[in-house]
Structure 1
Amino acid sequence: MGLPAVVRRADDLGRLARQARKQQQLTQRDLAGLAGTGPRFMVELEQGKPTVQLQKALDVLALLGLEVVIRPKGGVEGLER
């Protein structure tokens, strides 16, 4: 799954987080430490657990250099940063 990507399910988000973490050569434990959370949270996020805490997930994505953009369904035209 390349970037940009459409995330429709928790496991899509988890897969993207895992790919970004591995690209940056971080372990789950390393990233958990940087995010101020536990390794268990990282496992659950990457496995696509749908009940992970949203703010923690957003914090992890930010540390990985990723962001969530909400837009109407259908193309990326008109997408503002």
Structure 2
Amino acid sequence: MDDGTRPPLWGAADEPADLGALLLLLRRAHGLTQAELADAAGVPRRFVVDLENGRSTLFVQRLHAVLDALDARLVVEEPGARDAASGLSRTGASGDDAVAVDDDPDGGAPALKDLGW
């Protein structure tokens, strides 16, 4: 599990590959194997593998279609990530401590490009 020493992760998952990369980083940060995550989530391991590899499953396609129709985006965020990114973390983390990538010029969630960890 996360020992609290790394900054919280957040980013926009505009593409299946973005979602997969974020989920992979989160799983590793929590010290879980794909099998352990699948068991904890109650899904087949193959589903975790497909998500992490950016495979566009029917669920992911439909989710993005609905979000596109609503002009919205999917954001994956650990608790405290936005506070840390804005310098308002309750734990005293500065804005540089949050892992946010490629800041969105509109001021929303960052797009996933390079997490730099």
Q: Same fold (TM over 0.5)?
A: yes
Q: State the shift of 1:75 in Å.
A: 1.3
User: Over the residues paired in the alignment, what is the CA RMSD in angstroms?
Assistant: 2.5
Please give the TM-score of this superposition, normalised by the length of structure 2.
0.44
Aligned with 2:47 (options 29, 32, 41):
41
- Structure 1, unaligned stretches of length 5 or more? 55-64, 68-72, 77-81
Q: 1:20 aligns with which of 21, 26, 42?
A: 26
Q: Does the CA-based 8 Å contact 1:41-1:52 persist in structure 2? A: no
Structure that is richer in strand per residue: 2
Q: Does 1:30 align with 2:36?
A: yes
Runs of 4+ in 1 over 6 A off after TM superposition: none
**Structure 2: segments with no counterpart, 5+ residues:** 1-7, 61-76, 80-104, 109-117
Answer whether contact 1:18 1:46 (CA < 8 A) is retained.
yes
Contact conserved, 1:44 with 1:52, CA < 8 A, in 2? no
2:104 is the alignment partner of 1:75: no
Tell me which residue corresponds to 2:59. Answer: 53
1:7 maps to a residue whose letter is: A
Query: How far off is 1:26 after superposition?
Result: 0.2
Number of aligned pairs?
60
Question: 1:7 deviation in Å?
Answer: 1.9
TM-score, length basis structure 1? 0.62
